[in-house]
Amino acid sequence: MQIIDGSALAKEIRSEVKTEVDKLKEQGVVPGLAVVLVGDDPASHAYVKMKSKACKEVGFYSIVHEMPDSVSQERIIETIKMMNQNPNIDGILVQLPLPGHIETEKILEVIDPKKDVDGFHPYNSGRLVNNLDSFVPCTPLGVMKMFDKYNIDLRGKDVVVVGASNIVGKPMASLLLNADATVTVTHIYTKDLKAHTQNADIVIVGVGKPGLITEDMVKEGAIVIDIGINRLENGKLTGDVAFDTVSPKCSYVTPVPGGVGPMTIAMLLQNTLDAAKMR
């Protein structure tokens, strides 16, 4: 059993990004990332703080537009349009989830696809499905980087993706299909999850349910990628996989924390750098 060290790989990527940023700065270009943060959700604030810290570390210009829960949809749209026009901003991301009165899809569609470093705009998701160059959502992209780093060949592998969100599950499935894997996507209405996961070569889970994947649900030698991140009542962070009992059966497995999480931010930096290069 080998643990996939997301922290170490993310550190490597951040270092490469910093080197490239230094080169861009010599040409007078400073990559810029703008974040829209609505409301006072503690998890969202923690994520944005981590993103800002990472931007500073690699030498990006970054700005956070904080808005109250009660903000109108029009106000958010105005702010995004302003950033679309700002030549110093290469990447725009809206921290999700948004309050209930805001139409998330409408907000995401306002972002200029060339600045959509989260890869959530329909233009970019459409290009991803068609295996064309596009910005790809950071978490699935981070998982693909892990496969690459650990020389895990996806061609012909049976992969089960647990969770069908627009942010993780669907783009993950598209990337896997583009890599010639055989993909099954399961979700909240799947009748018998175990029937799908127990024969899979690779199980990728990201639904936010602690211990959802148990030892009897994976076969010997399976690769298990845990995207879930949950905070237990005792304050401990845990994934969607019962790590202690599942990991001994795996050939490769990601821990939580220290697995996919750090890769998400590393990929955000990479996407923003790519956007700056297109400037």
- Residues with a catalytic annotation lie at 51, 95, 118
Q: Are 7 and 262 in contact (CB under 8 A)?
A: yes
Q: Does residue 98 contact residue 73 with C-beta atoms inside 8 Å? A: no
**Are 47 and 96 contacting, i.e. CB atoms less than 8 angstroms apart?**
no
Greatest Cα pair distance, the chain, in angstroms, is 57
Structure tokens at 275: 């956007």
Q: At what angle do helices 138-149 and 260-278 cross, to 10 degrees?
A: 110
Query: Would you state the structure tokens that stand for residue 122, as one six-digit string?
Result: 């329909």
What is the number of other CB atoms lying within 10 angstroms of the CB of residue 118?
24
Contact 125, 178 (CB under 8 A): no
33: which 2 tokens?
A: 């990332």
Structure tokens, 105: 């899809």
